[in-house]
Structure 1
């Protein structure tokens, strides 16, 4: 193939990638809630796929260029030739001119299956558990009821869904999912994170998706044949082995005492018999993160930081993955306060100065509800030691649209868009000399472990310890929207 042919095929590949990436993101479990665009329904091999107007124009341009130049370049001409659009694209990818990432995107879009991830599952985590959790969470999302899946869900993941359910109820919204099919489950990455193991699992799936509001039909959306890939991250302690007795996915028994778990598990996933927190990574792999394929990045640059390891070496419960989960928990609760939840909720995790800043931000925005609120990414970016505190800095991106309710819906934002935030969680360095207790962050006393009966109190009703106390727990000490 001469240079002109190669150049054309590479250009064609880029145009096709841009075309497929123009497809919108929308509702469903873990959905990124991308910007809404004018859209059409177009038949594909797997049903009906949503294409945007710009996407159709882009495809038309691709086809016009292809057919005009095909004859001139000799693509597919001559008897017995096996050249085609797909073989041409594959040739361009294998020619070294296009990176492996684009190769994976093209292969996935054309075949509907993931082509990456070929590692073995870590001990105790199986394809059956992942598939079970995926299907169960789709049902829980549709029912807006997490009680059946709470036992293997981290507090941060739970809070993400709970916040969305609160908004959906105010907007009289429901999300019906049907024809849910898992196409591929594969291991993307396994890594050591402090005393924990983390496993990133790629799940490629398809479904039909109807997002309906009874009161505000202008919010309605309906799609068929949605096919996508998400990365589900699970976490487990390295020093424990998963057994049949403490399986959180394929049984409904307490992993500690074996008694049947009640289905009223909510903010705190606690066995009513032995009072054990079931979503404890000492028992089984716990779902800690759901990331869109396009937002996925393996691990964290700070995992190998020797100074950070030295600072937290005596705290066997410290792990970056766990800290990012706490950050997501805090963020979603701040978003709830912004959109109307009680201001006193901040007393669970924020120092007074930051709480006042968040309330000032709330006042400036006025009353609103989020139409979709998807936390896309949480990354612990850096850390400092100041005033005898370890301060962890996080970058968070979320997709949402704000609306005001009334007889008519008023959109404060023209569409669902991405927003970036930064926050800092701080804890006294002296407190890192002993392991942190396993608690449900902001729902249990970090001193005695008792559940907070009234979360608006500034002290524990049992031991009278301060709720916000950097000598016992991580405290929100800074919060800002970047863009």
Structure 2
């Protein structure tokens, strides 16, 4: 998380008010991670105890009411100093601080605008068919997991008056055989979150303004130039027209190439809220890690964080009722069994919003001839149980923190691996997994979960 300092005492009360208001609102739009940042007006319909209307049934305690009233009073007193309204009372987007960079070759403001606007449309329609070709597997998994939850809660998100105010490259990094670019997108929009069956979940925001950091990744050794996956609909390898039905595996039906291979064009690999953005990962400069992975052409920190986010979202889907088979694609058998037991003990629930705020490769070690990568993750969500009315298992949207470990044999890092869709295709032959109840690939008999071939989940839990 990026921490900004200011002169002592100058903004103590306004900051406290922002934190208070932040804690009582939940973000709906693309990339949302738990709170609207500034500007605009907000309304919601919390029909507590409204029977068939789907109320959460959580009474506000006197203490909570007092806190809310104090927050409103303080906000009213200090709203001019907060400068949330911009010029003439109009909300202004939050602008990124720090130096800005030139756009790297092949990544243009036009591609950024296209990706931003088309993903807002895909989010509203809960259909990633048109945008799958240029997004990483981890980003795809984040959205499909959220769509699954929204469908269970009969939710949809209506966005309007979407305006991009500014696009700036905040950071460029070399990451193994890849280059990454963090692009700050400042925007405004009207945002309405609607549940047909549970109107107590409804919220709306007018003039919502914010800045998000979109991370794009591209291979530095690519010999392909001029490819534009954002404004064309053709396979970057064979030129065939792409179907808008690409799913878990983004492969061209004609030549079987992965369209979201970063050798062809810049691929959207992460979306981070401004309050969670921490800039470059210090491990980018870790000499020992570079030495351990120098012979693996597919290794990069950003790519590994994408795999970690993919794994996390699939675990969350399993916890909320998806097939346990998913775990058998990427987790050690003992850990998979432990997670299945945790699922049974927790009972049935779904997430009212599930936002993966941040995934960071924070540490690594070598043990038992394996390289173990340790990730820290934060996610914002509220668990609820379905019925004629919702029962809240968590009193409000809150941030939860997790740790996750992926392991691979050190010897495997020196062997070139196939570019595959993680957990959906065999690391040995590239064939799709048709039946994950088997512990071997149905085509080549290779083990599905094998640290000698692929990254395996060896530890997971909250902290």
TM-score interval for Structure 1 and Structure 2 normalised by the shorter chain: 0.7 to 0.9
Q: How many residues align?
A: 425
Q: Larger Rg: 1 or 2?
A: 1
User: Does the CA contact (< 8 Å) of 2:308 and 2:375 recur in 1?
Assistant: yes
Q: 3-state DSSP class of the match of 1:233?
A: strand
Q: 3-state DSSP class of the match of 1:26?
A: coil
Instruction: Give the drift of 1:436.
Output: 2.5
Q: Is 1:253 aligned to 2:229, yes or no?
A: no
- 2:197 aligned to which of 215, 229, 251: 215
Partner of 2:12: 14
Instruction: Give the drift of 1:55.
Output: 4.1
TM-score by length of 1: 0.84
Instruction: Give the drift of 1:364.
Output: 1.9
User: Does the CA contact (< 8 Å) of 2:273 and 2:357 recur in 1?
Assistant: yes
Partner of 1:28: 29
Q: 3-state DSSP class of the match of 1:403?
A: strand
Q: Which has the higher contact order (CA 8 A, sep 6+)?
A: 2
Q: How many Å separate the matches in 1 of 2:136 and 2:96?
A: 29
TM-score by length of 2: 0.87
Unaligned runs of 5+ in 1: 1-8, 36-43, 64-84, 91-104
Q: Is 1:425 aligned to 2:402, yes or no?
A: no
Deviates more, 1:404-413 or 1:324-333: 404-413
Q: 3-state DSSP class of the match of 1:377?
A: strand
Unaligned runs of 5+ in 2: 1-6, 45-67
Partner of 1:127: 109
- Over 6 Å off, 4+ runs: none
Q: How many Å separate the matches in 1 of 2:459 and 2:194?
A: 37
Instruction: Give the drift of 1:228.
Output: 0.7
Q: 3-state DSSP class of the match of 1:271?
A: coil
Partner of 1:199: 181
Q: Is 1:374 aligned to 2:355, yes or no?
A: yes
Q: 1:20 to 1:34 in 2, by over 3 A?
A: closer
Q: CA RMSD in A?
A: 2.3
Q: How many Å separate the matches in 1 of 2:237 and 2:69?
A: 55
Kindly provide the CA deviation profile for residues 419-467 of structure 1, in whole angstroms up to 9, marking residues without a partner as x: 1111110001110111232100000000001111223332111111111
User: Does the CA contact (< 8 Å) of 1:124 and 1:242 recur in 2?
Assistant: no
Q: 1:379 to 1:238 in 2, by over 3 A?
A: same
Q: Is 1:48 aligned to 2:49, yes or no?
A: no
User: Does the CA contact (< 8 Å) of 1:157 and 1:289 recur in 2?
Assistant: yes
Q: Is 1:165 aligned to 2:147, yes or no?
A: yes
Q: How many Å separate the matches in 2 of 1:421 and 1:355?
A: 16
Kindly provide the CA deviation profile for residues 115-145 of structure 1, in whole angstroms up to 9, marking residues without a partner as x: 5352111111011101100000000000000
Q: 3-state DSSP class of the match of 1:303?
A: helix
Partner of 1:174: 156
Kindly provide the CA deviation profile for residues 28-85 of structure 1, in whole angstroms up to 9, marking residues without a partner as x: 10101249xxxxxxxx9x753579755432234437xxxxxxxxxxxxxxxxxxxxx7
User: Does the CA contact (< 8 Å) of 1:49 and 1:225 recur in 2?
Assistant: no
